[in-house]
Structure formats: structure tokens, C-alpha cells
Amino acid sequence: MGAVVSGSIKPLLNLIAQITISIALLILIILVDPLLALNTTLIFILIYGGAFLLMKNIIHKIGIGRLNANKERFKIVNDAFSALKLIKLGGQENIYANRFAKPAEIYANNQSLSQAISLLPRYIVEAAAFGGVILFILILTNHLLTKEFYYQELPIHI
């Protein structure tokens, strides 16, 4: 149940919230400057799409490895439960524990790696947005520091 909530319902709710916020901001930007809104939207779609496409194949390969490791874990547990009395009588608990350890480690590594990689497109877009804001401030600052701006925009001439 926890995997269903954390793996599908929670991301779906986050997606709905993010889309709602994005649409509200997009409407506001369209009202202020439609060309800027179109350019900005296209840039972010390209950045996110590129990051998503790069990560998609990696996550798919990790998912296959995780699926195989999980199958192996369940096979070992099923074998152990089927022959539980024989294992206990023969003292072979460590053999099954050791057989279970490797697929469990692969599964856990793939699970954590998949979760980490799935966050990368979001952070790439956030880094691009932050970099864009800094670039905008630098360009605006450079424009404000020119003498022509002072003579045109400021009522007091130095």
C-alpha cells in the first residue's frame, strides 16, 4: 500500500498542484507579455523534454533490473517457505539468507537509484529557471548602468 501511495498517488497530487500553479503563472505572464510567455514556455518544455528523454531509458533499464531482482527475492522466499521444516532441521538458514541478500541488495540499489534519477528533470528545469533569472538580472543591470539610460530615464542629470 505504501508503494502505491508514494509511487503513484502522491506524485499525481504533486503533478496536479504543479500544473495548477503553472497555469496560473502562465495566464499572468500571457496577460503581461504574450511573446515572453510563449518563448519561456517553449524553452522550459524543451529543457524538461530533453531531460526526460535522457532519463527515460536509464530508468527503464533500472526498472528491469529491479523487477528481475524482485522476482528472484520472491522465488527464494517461496522456496524457503516451501521447505521450511527441512531448512530448519538441516540448519541451512544461512544458505537461504545469503541467497536472498544479493537480490535484495540489487533491488534496494535499483529502487533508490530510480527515485534519485526520476527527480533530475525537475531539478534541471529549476536550475535553468534560476540561471535565467540571474541572466535576466545581469542583462538588466548592464542596461541600467549605461549613461544613456540615466539621461533618458532619470529626471536628474549628473
- pLDDT value for 16: 92
- Taking alpha carbons only, the member of 77, 63, 76, 75 closest to residue 106 is 63
Average pLDDT by stretches of 10, the chain with 158 residues: 65 89 86 83 85 84 89 87 79 82 89 86 85 80 64 54
- pLDDT value for 153: 56
Residue type, 23: I
- pLDDT value for 39: 85
Helices 93-118/34-82 angle, 10° precision: 170
Model confidence pTM above 0.85: no
- pLDDT value for 156: 54
Helices 93-118/120-144 angle, 10° precision: 30
